[in-house]
Each structure stands twice: as structure tokens, then as C-alpha cells.
Copies of this chain bind each other. A is one copy, B any other.
């Protein structure tokens, strides 16, 4: 499943702030500490792994990445699960569900904007998308009396590069 940062295409509606990984990492550490949580080695490695990723990382990927960061020290898979769900509760990360049975995580943008993804069914590449009309939909539901709205949207298909080759 090869990946790279992915290009921004014409569907974006707002110029994203696109905060750098290091910044996100520092901010997350601060928020963790301010929340009264301990800054342990595993947690720091996990946050660093997720914040430096250029796409949503699966639990297993985060686990492997943190292993390298911790070198001799270790971090159990269980800790990944527990920490990441803790991070999610704190609003530091978002859980991405692509429907393949594995949980993925990515850092939240401090601006509060969330986005969705395009998944190439051939090469597995995951690209971020920004879809405005969808937000309009949500407004319509809100006006109809629905509250606490959120949504999940994923596009699947074959990306242009994969479409060209073969």
C-alpha cells in the first residue's frame, strides 16, 4: 500500500491551514499535559507517529512506528488502543473508518475543520478531500430538527495514476 502526501485537487473549498506535523505534536503534548494527563514515553511516541504521518495510520502502523521511535523501550499494542482512544476523547485525533475492519487515526486540525477521504481501490492510496456541499446537507438536517450532527463520508475508486496504468 504505497502512499505519498497526495495532491490537493479542485474539490477543496477552503485553503486549509495544513498545520505541520511538529506543530501538531507540540500542541497535542501541551493539551495532554493541560488535561492533567501524564506525558509517558509511549504516549509521546504515539503522538509523534500519528502527527508525522501524511495519511491516516492504522493501529498496527502506529504500533510499528512507535516501536522504532522508542527503540529499546517498548510499547504494547494494547497501549496503542488505549492511548489513541484517550487522544480521541481529548479531541487530539480523529478515528477514520474506511470500512475494512481496521481503525485508522489522524491528527485533528486545530482549526476545527474536518475532512473526508478518497481511497483508491487499486493502490490503497488515501487522499484527503474537502467537500463543501456536504456541510450544506448537514445544515438542512439541522433545520429539520436534527441535532448533534456528524457524518462519515468516504469515496472509493481508482485514482488517476492507477487508472492510466493498466
The interface of chain A, by Cβ under 8 A from chain B, is 9-11, 97, 99, 118, 121, 131, 133-134, 136-138, 140-141, 144-160, 163
Contact = CB atoms under 8 A, between A and B. Distances in A.
In the A-B complex, the 8 residue pairs with the smallest Cβ-Cβ separation, listed nearest first, are A145-B160, A133-B133, A149-B157, A97-B99, A153-B153, A151-B155, A148-B157, A152-B154
A147 B157 contact: yes
Contact of A153 (B146, B151, B157): B151
Given A138-B155, A151-B153, A153-B153, 13 more contacts: A10-B144, A11-B141, A97-B99, A134-B134, A134-B153, A141-B157, A144-B160, A146-B155, A146-B160, A147-B158, A148-B157, A149-B155, A153-B154
A interface SS class: mixed
